[in-house]
Amino acid sequence: MNNITPVHSQDELHARLLAITGAYPQDQVFLLCDSNSHRHCLPLLRRGKLEALLPETHVICLPAGDQNKNIDSLSLIWQTLSRNGATRHALLLNLGGGMITDIGGFAAATFKRGIGFVNLPTTLLACVDAAQGGKTGINFNGLKNEVGAFCPAREVLVYPAFFQTLGKSDLACGYAEMLKHGLLSTPGHWQEVIRLELADVCQAGFSGILMRSMQVKADIVAQDPTENGLRKCLNLGHTVGHAFESWSHEQQQPVPHGYAVAWGLICELYLSMRLLGFPKEPFQQTIYRIKEVFGALPFSCKNYPSLIEKMHHDKKNSGDKIQFALLSDIGQIHIDQVVDEKTIEESLDFYLDFMGY
């Protein structure tokens, strides 16, 4: 189970990092980042005692982009750790978005059969998704997250000031996961997420809502750390969303993961209403909020076969049946719901009608 620690100022961030790293020999502390977090976020850390603690030889910088979450980058991390004398008592600080926390966690889980690591997510999406929950891994053989391990970070440090470097699209991607967590939790939390404005991530109350969103996932993962049951509910929006995402890449017009999940939520909430009686009012409030923030993905009924074929390849399916995590109400979760192709096409019809296509 991750220990999630909010830090509200640069001084608090430094104090917490010094407290964590103080338990390790100075030459055994390493930091992994990508070109974006190296430029925008690392300067916030390298000050005073931390600057001496993180010499250039102990900073591993990867090119930004999920395409670099691969075995070559993983090998580079291992080589750098080995070349600089990392032992089983080393610590790896992962400073970046989901790509960095995924590959950094996997590198730490496997180097010397496991060293400690701490995640410092620098994107909203990484905060509410990849940085916590213990899933680590890399893309392999053309498949996303094909090789990995369950291994939780020793701590996740949440510093919202990092998000000030993000554009609207990046913030929206994280917001999609927060909407999902709101639907999986309570009407009160869902309402505060629906009303959340993304214009200022340092606004009063933002950190509290963010921490409550993270706690939704943390509580679910604590009950099912290796995804044998309840944790499957975190797939809400993703069965259709992953199909949208993969299809957009085929069209050479790729959409961000968070956008695809948000659009997937529209279809899967429709299925929840159609099959399990999900209430109309929260359904309408959620889908109109999604349309407002994320716009629309244009496709047509001729694309249905391709989309449904991709849903068949979702790794959470059983056999040739397409399975969903659906809701009968906010917080009322039903996993492993088998839905036939005709009903899935109905949800796609609804999406197109709602979006005006």
Residue pLDDT, tens place only, 105-139:
999 999 999 999 999 999 999 999 999 999 999 99
CA atoms within 13 A on the CB side of 181: 25
Work out the percent of the chain whose per-residue pLDDT is above 90.
80
Helix (H) or strand (E) holding 247: helix 238-250
- Mean pLDDT in residue range 266-272: 98
pLDDT band at 314 (very low <50, low <70, confident <90, very high): confident
Q: What is the CATH number of domain 4-165?
A: 3.40.50.1970
The yes-or-no verdict on residue 1 having pLDDT over 60 is no
Domain 168-355 has CATH 1.20.1090.10: yes
pLDDT band at 202 (very low <50, low <70, confident <90, very high): low
Query: Which pLDDT value is given to residue 313?
Result: 82
CA dihedral sign, ordered 229, 231, 237, 241:
negative
Question: Does 2 or 300 have the greater pLDDT score?
Answer: 300
CA angle 148, 150, 154 (to 5 degrees): 120
- Mean pLDDT in residue range 319-331: 94
Query: Which pLDDT value is given to residue 21?
Result: 94
Sequence spans of domains, the chain:
4-165, 168-355
Looking at the chain, how many residues does it have? 357
Look at the pTM and tell me if it is higher than 0.85.
yes
CA distance 201 to 233: 27
What are the CA-CA distances from residue 104 to residues 66, 91, 123, 169, 253 (Å)? 13, 11, 15, 24, 29
Query: Which pLDDT value is given to residue 237?
Result: 97
Task: Give helix then strand counts, H and E, for the chain.
Answer: 15, 10
* Topology alike, domains 4-165 and 168-355: no
The yes-or-no verdict on residue 52 having pLDDT over 90 is no
Sequence-ordered strand ranges (E) for the chain: 4-6, 29-34, 59-62, 91-96, 116-121, 135-140, 143-150, 155-158, 323-329, 332-338
